Amino acid sequence: MSEAEIIIKGELHTSRGDLEEEREILKKGVDHLIFEGSKHKNWEFKLSQYWYAWVLIIFEYLFARILYVDKSIVEDLAEVQKAELQFTRESNTSILENSHTMVKAVSAGIFFTLTAVAIIIGLLGQTRIGSIGLLVSALSPLLLLRVHESRRATVGRDIQIAEMIEETAQDGGRVVVIVGAAHLDGISEALCDELEYEVKSPVYSRLSAPHIKDIAYSSIVAFSVLYVVYSGLLTYVQFFV
């Protein structure tokens, strides 16, 4: 294996402190960047996957894209240095396509059930609770799919990322890996013992004052948008269904 400097940076996706540290890491040079996310951002779903498209719409557009810190500067820094950029997922549907049929069915059932409950709660006059229920209807199946993906014995996501790191390290150079903090232990366990690497934990914890400050305003915005969209959904149901 060629000599390679490997830095595995764990982050909180909502942390500005982690973004600043990642910028400093990349400023020192990068030849290969492995970045948690989807390579292709297309929204081409099969008919049987439409429910999952709604899960992503609710979670990403009404929540994550508002609450999460924009990481485009990280990709830009890598591009300027002509680094090879790799993503941990091929597309938006990868997590679903890699799941067992039974897990898909259970996840879809959870989504439809919780969405129906959320709408009923809103129709009964509890709009705020119902809007939170709509978010839960998307988060629950998504969490189930991700836990299933991560814990699969031979093709778990942490194992796949570790294999990407080992393969990339063969080319030498400076390899920077940016993933969610929850993946750090699994990746470290999966990497071969001969490989030398540095692990950087999140700058601060989820419940720390700096992180709460990071998410305070964006949380208000995210839940406000969710409330407005949910109210519109209730209006549609009342008049057209």
Write out pLDDT tens, residues 203-236.
999 999 999 999 999 999 999 999 999 999 999 9
Which burial class, exposed, middle or buried, applies to 4 when counting CB atoms under 10 A from its CB (0-12, 13-18, 19+)?
buried
Query: Is 203 within 8 Å of 29 (Cβ atoms)?
Result: no
CA proximity to 167, closest of 75, 80, 84: 84
Predicted model pTM:
0.87
Token pair for residue 105? 């069915």
* Residue listed under structure tokens 């470290």: 188
Q: What percent of the chain has pLDDT over 90?
A: 68
Question: For 172, left (φ over 0), alpha (ψ -120 to 50), or beta?
Answer: left
CA proximity to 92, closest of 52, 130, 131, 119: 52
Q: Which residue segment(s) compose the domain that 79 sits in?
A: 4-240
What radius of gyration, in Å, describes the C-alpha atoms of the chain? 20
Q: What's the domain count of the chain?
A: 1
* Residue listed under structure tokens 């934990």: 201
Q: What is the pLDDT of residue 164?
A: 93
Write out pLDDT tens, residues 136-168.
999 999 999 888 877 664 557 888 899 999 999
Euclidean distance between CA atoms 241 and 234, whole angstroms: 10
Q: How far apart are the first and last CA of the chain?
A: 62
Q: Which residue has the higher pLDDT, 50 or 92?
A: 50
